Each structure stands twice: as structure tokens, then as C-alpha cells.
Amino acid sequence: MDNNVRPETMERITTPELARKFIEEQIGILRAQIGDKKVLLALSGGVDSSVVAALLIKAVGKQLVCVHVNHGLLRKGEPEQVIEVFRNQMDANLIYVDAVDRFLDKLAGVSDPETKRKIIGAEFIRVFEEEARKLEDIRFLGQGTIYPDILESADGIKAHHNVGGLPEDLDFELVEPVKLLYKDEVRVVGKELGLPDNMVYRQPFPGPGLGVRCLGAITRDRLEALRESDAILREEFAKNGLQGKVWQYFTIVPDFKSTGIRDGKRTFDWPVIIRAVNTRDAVTATVEDVPFALLQHITSRITAEVPGVNRVLYDLTPKPSGTIEWE
Ligand code: XMP
């Protein structure tokens, strides 16, 4: 049987009881697979990798080594929060790697979305290999792959960093305990594992991070505009009761400029695109009906506070015909 195919008999995990059953089963499977070896985990701070971390901590305790790679494509404040939650609050074995320049240098001038994903994925693996070599007896690589990643990779829609682009000399065996779960099930499991609500109900964030939202070839200035506009959007959604209600919301910065006017002078700056969608499993999605007054307020904040931006647009497209991300 192909172990990347969800069996038809597998019940959807919707209750704490079903989550407990899943957790118990996984603990057994993980212990049998890992034995007394060590596992290196790519801990992004998102729901998926956080749930995998919590599962692995339950199953193999200190044999888990979490690595948080700052690839420069994370949201504002995110690396700091990962350190606070996992190192300070959960007492996890956490290694923080600042790889910002390394990733951005590799991505310079690369505009094709799938090539960008592959570069980010391959570089990730290289960073992990380097960390693994510094440690002893690392045999396994833990990953927060979920079922939609597998389905879409199989369809050839896109290559996800966590299932594609592994170098041939890779010497890790993969540990992917939530790979047959949909996002909603991962959250139920995370809650049952005792993870804090702000982690369990956090909106999903793609592995390639802001890299697929800074359209075309990534530049540091547009990346900064993206990070700042995303922070404003998140702040305003939180203030206005939309955090936890809207499934995923973020900004996008395209690689073209338009004419505008500021202080009586002509500007030639980037637009910021806002995307806010609801979905159950990310396979289809609808657009959130954000109050117009709030969109206007966010627009005035972004154009006033983010250097290099003179317009804000709202994406009205459901999935299909658009995907959730723009690349
Ligand atoms: P799309 O754009 O395919 O996104 O409608 C569906 C969900 O998947 C996330 N996404 C990714 N996650 N690596 C990831 O780990 C990726 O390359 C990737 N691309 C999209 C997206 O944010 C949405 O939640």
C-alpha cells in the first residue's frame, strides 16, 4: 500500500477522543521508527511543525533537536516568538540558525516561482545537514508535511519544499507523523497535545514563507515592504476581531510599479495586494467579506507607513480560479 495515500477508512479527526487515539498510535509508531536515535526537526513555528514537535517530544523527549532557520522570509517578529515559545516556555532543545544572507543571496535574480521554491527547499536541507553534522547520531528528519502538500505535489500543481527538492546525497530518514492529516485535523491534534491556542489557531504560513509573496525576483526592499504591510494587516485584523475568524490573510508585493502622488509630487512605487480567504482544507477557498471601512483604514496605514508603496488592492478571487498564494 502506498503510505502517502490516506486510506478511505480513515476517520476525520474532529474530536478530542479521535485526536487522543491518533496521538497514542503515533507515539507507538514514532518510538518504533526512531528507537534510541536522534531526530532533527525543522521548526518553523507554524501549526504543522509545532504539532510535530509536540508529538515528537511526547514520543522521544530529548532525542528531538529542533532547528529554527531564519531564512529571511519569515513574518515580522516571528523568529523572536519561536525562541520565546519553544526555548523559554516549552524548554525544547532549540538551535537558532541565522541564514538570512545565505538564502537571499541564492535567490537574487531568480523569478520563476517553482525555481524559488526549489532553491529555498534545497537550501533548507543543506542547513539541516550542516546542523546534523555538528551533532552526533542524527538519523531522522522530522517534517510537518500535511495531506494537501502530498495531494498537490502528486498533481504536479506545485513543488512543496517539504516533499520535493531533496538532494540525492541526503542521508536522513523522514519522520512525517501528520502527513495524512488535513489542516483542521492537525489543529484538533495540537489542541489535544496541549499547545497554546495562539499556536494551534495560528493561520497557515507556507514553507517558502514571504518568498512566494514577494513576486518574481526577491529584492530586500520589496521584502521589507511585504513584511511591514503584512504586520499592519495582521495588527488590524487582530484589533477588529478577524484574527481566528479568517483562515488565512496576508499581503503580496508584485514586481512592478505604478504612478502615484504624495505631498504634491509624482511617485513611482509598488502596490500591495491584500488576500483574505476562508477554507476548510485549502483545496478550495472563498474570499472574506472584509468591511470596506476597514480596508480603507488598512490602505491608509500601509500607504502612510510602508516606504515604497503607493497603492493597495484587495484580491476578490476565490480558489479556483486563483490559488491562495500568488506563486
Ligand atoms: P495554494 O496557493 O496552493 O495554497 O492555494 C494552499 C495552502 O498551502 C499553502 N502553501 C504552501 N505551503 N509550501 C507550504 O508549506 C508551499 O510551497 C506552499 N504553497 C502554498 C498556502 O499558504 C495555503 O495555505
Helix/strand/coil (H/E/C) assignment for every residue in 89-142: HCCCCEEEEECHHHHHHHHCCCCCHHHHHHHHHHHHHHHHHHHHHHCCCEEEEE
Give the residue from 173, 200, 227 where a domain finishes.
200
Higher pLDDT, 31 or 166: 31
Per-residue pLDDT averaged across 16-43, rounded? 96
Please, are residues 28 and 56 in contact by the beta-carbon 8 Å criterion? Answer: no
Q: Per-residue pLDDT tens for 258-287?
A: 999 999 999 999 999 999 999 988 899 999
**Count of domains in the chain?**
2
C-alpha 274: how far from chain center: 17
| Separation CA 46–CA 264 (nearest Å) | 43
DSSP 285: B
pLDDT band at 160 (very low <50, low <70, confident <90, very high): very low
Q: Mark whether 136 and 103 lie in a shared domain.
A: yes
pLDDT surpassing 90 at residue 132 = no
Instruction: Identify which of 313, 194, 304, 199 has the alpha carbon closest to the alpha carbon of residue 254.
Output: 313
Per-residue pLDDT averaged across 212-227, rounded? 98
The domain in which residue 129 lies consists of 16-200
Q: Mark whether 196 and 219 lie in a shared domain.
A: no
C-alpha dihedral (239, 242, 247, 248), degrees to nearest 10: -50
Could you tell me if residue 85 is inside a domain? yes
207 lines ligand 1 (CB under 6 A): yes
CATH number of the CATH domain containing 195: 3.40.50.620
Q: Mark whether 289 and 257 lie in a shared domain.
A: yes
User: Is beta strand 265-278 parallel, antiparallel or unpaired with respect to 286-287?
Assistant: antiparallel
Please, are residues 38 and 30 in contact by the beta-carbon 8 Å criterion? Answer: no
Could you tell me if residue 327 is inside a domain? no
pLDDT surpassing 70 at residue 158 = no
What is the CA(303)–ligand 1 centre distance, in A?
27
Q: Mark whether 127 and 274 lie in a shared domain.
A: no
Pick from 57-66, 148-157, 164-173, 262-271: least confident: 164-173
Instruction: Identify which of 96, 37, 29, 90 has the alpha carbon closest to the alpha carbon of residue 63.
Output: 37
Q: Mark whether 170 and 117 lie in a shared domain.
A: yes
Per-residue pLDDT averaged across 159-169, rounded? 48
Q: Per-residue pLDDT tens for 47-59?
A: 899 999 999 999 9
What is the CA(206)–ligand 1 centre distance, in A?
5
| Separation CA 40–CA 44 (nearest Å) | 13
pLDDT of residue 157: 57
pLDDT of residue 133: 83
Q: Mark whether 238 and 307 lie in a shared domain.
A: yes
Please, which residues have CB within 8 angstroms of residue 261's CB and are 6 or more apart in sequence?
Answer: 267, 310
pLDDT band at 168 (very low <50, low <70, confident <90, very high): low
113 lines ligand 1 (CB under 6 A): no
CATH number of the CATH domain containing 292: 3.30.300.10
Could you tell me if residue 144 is inside a domain? yes
324 lines ligand 1 (CB under 6 A): yes
Backbone angles phi, psi at 206, to 5 degrees: -65, 150
Q: Mark whether 128 and 26 lie in a shared domain.
A: yes
C-alpha cell at 315: 484580491
Give the residue from 147, 172, 200 where a domain finishes.
200
pLDDT of residue 161: 43
Per-residue pLDDT averaged across 55-80, rounded? 92
Closest ligand 1 atom, CA of 144?
15
Higher pLDDT, 240 or 45: 240
Give the residue from 200, 231, 251 where a domain finishes.
200
Q: Mark whether 189 and 288 lie in a shared domain.
A: no
- The residue to mutate among 75, 150, 183, 324, having the most atoms of ligand 1 within 8 angstroms of its beta carbon, is 324
